Amino acid sequence: MPSGRPALRELGLEDAVVSRGAPPLNGLQFGRVDEPPIAVPFPGHQGEQAGLGIRRLSFDAQMTEALAHHSGIQFRSHTEARDVRRDADGMTTVITDAGEVRSRFVAVADGLRSALRHRLGWTVGPRPPHRYGIVAHWMMDGPVDPWVRITFDRGLEVYEGPVAGNQRMVALLCYQDRMREFGGQLESRYREIAQAIRPGLRQAELIGSVSAVGPFWYGATTVADRGIFLVGDAAGFTDPITAEGIATGLRQARALSDALTSPNPERAYRHAHRQLTNDPYRVAALFLRLTRTPALVDRAIRNHGRSPQTLSKLLGIGFGYWGFNRITPREWIRMFTGR
């Protein structure tokens, strides 16, 4: 998302990502099945407006390459961190399959189901109602579509966006009651639903495997304590409906870097993490309410014709550009009543 590009640029990775074919993301288009979608461009902020579409495997490979060639980093790929232990002398020991590493500070960034967060006893959740995702990539002919598209169906959304080349990531996001449909037939049912809701996929080629992940909502009792810090999805995750994963992780990593120079790094990072996540979590919760209430989706679509800036403002809040006071009382009323 656009909010992650300054951090990507600071790391010296933006040019490499763009040069290897990451297409721009201009905004969201969303709507109901068999109805024209509405377009919500990403809001401009400090010269940033477009996101970048990239497969996570490609991004990880580029990050790995940069780490391996950094003179100030000892990078150990294919090394599993199995546990983390706080020592009496104030240091922290990370137990890996290649031995122990002692450090003053440790960043734990092992994802949604963080095993290290769980070992620390910091995991909260998953919280119901449980949501899941079924994800795959498709090869499509024709020019790159620079929009992230969300199509709402009963208890399910199809979420898609461009990645490098002519590939599109297509995810079905749904609640537990619809996940039962996929038992024993994950790929065939995924293909059937995706092509029914997005007919353009009938001329596309499914490439690679179909993966299922979830439930999504995880939290943490703390994101920093005695030299250990949680970053990215390990620090708490609401739902991928806002597509903020990589951008959020980069922004939190930048906040951790800043916090380590303060007299109390743990307190500084906890404060920065709240500032970065509180409003975006609320935006995600609002969008999730839309997904569960078809009438609210219809009202949001009707309201967009009267106040096209409201949803762009919500995206800006989700990106951390500004607060909820950006939306006027009249806009809130229109959003929920359609009047």
| Angstrom distance (rounded) from CA 36 to CA 301 | 10
- Residues 195, 300, single domain; the answer is no
Quick check: is 162 in a domain? yes
Quick check: is 310 in a domain? yes
pLDDT of residue 35: 84
Q: Is the peptide bond before 215 cis (omega within 30 degrees of 0)?
A: yes
- Residues 136, 33, single domain; the answer is yes
- Residues 39, 147, single domain; the answer is yes
| Angstrom distance (rounded) from CA 110 to CA 125 | 16
pLDDT of residue 18: 92
| Angstrom distance (rounded) from CA 250 to CA 140 | 30
pLDDT of residue 170: 96
Cβ contacts of 178 within 8 Å, gap of 6 or more: 155, 156
Quick check: is 140 in a domain? yes
pLDDT of residue 53: 93
- Residues 35, 164, single domain; the answer is yes
- Residues 338, 195, single domain; the answer is no
Taking phi over 0 as left and psi of -120 to 50 as alpha, with beta for the rest, 68 belongs to alpha
Of 213, 240, 266, which marks where a domain is finished?
Answer: 213
- Residues 141, 33, single domain; the answer is yes
Quick check: is 245 in a domain? no
The parent domain of residue 209 ranges over: 26-44+129-213
Work out how many domains the chain is built from and give that number. 2
- Residues 317, 168, single domain; the answer is no
- The answer to whether the CB of 253 falls within 8 A of the CB of 276 is no
Quick check: is 336 in a domain? yes
- Residues 38, 151, single domain; the answer is yes
- Residues 303, 198, single domain; the answer is no
CATH number for the domain that contains residue 156: 3.30.9.100
| Angstrom distance (rounded) from CA 320 to CA 314 | 10
Quick check: is 103 in a domain? no
pLDDT digits (tens, 9 = 90+) for 84-107: 999 999 899 999 999 999 999 999
Query: What string of pLDDT tens digits covers the 339 residues of the chain?
Result: 999 999 999 999 999 899 988 999 999 998 888 888 889 999 999 888 999 998 888 899 999 999 999 999 999 989 999 999 999 998 999 999 999 999 999 999 999 999 999 999 999 999 998 999 999 999 998 888 999 999 988 888 999 999 987 899 999 999 988 898 898 999 999 999 999 999 989 999 999 999 999 999 999 999 999 999 999 999 999 888 777 788 899 999 999 999 999 999 999 999 999 999 999 888 888 888 877 777 777 777 777 777 888 889 989 998 889 999 998 888 887 777 767
Quick check: is 220 in a domain? no
Residues in the chain: 339
Quick check: is 200 in a domain? yes
- Residues 301, 189, single domain; the answer is no
Of 182, 213, 244, which marks where a domain is finished?
Answer: 213
pLDDT of residue 189: 95
- Residues 32, 144, single domain; the answer is yes
Of 163, 196, 213, which marks where a domain is finished?
Answer: 213
- Residues 40, 171, single domain; the answer is yes
Half-sphere exposure of 306 (CA within 13 A, CB side): 14
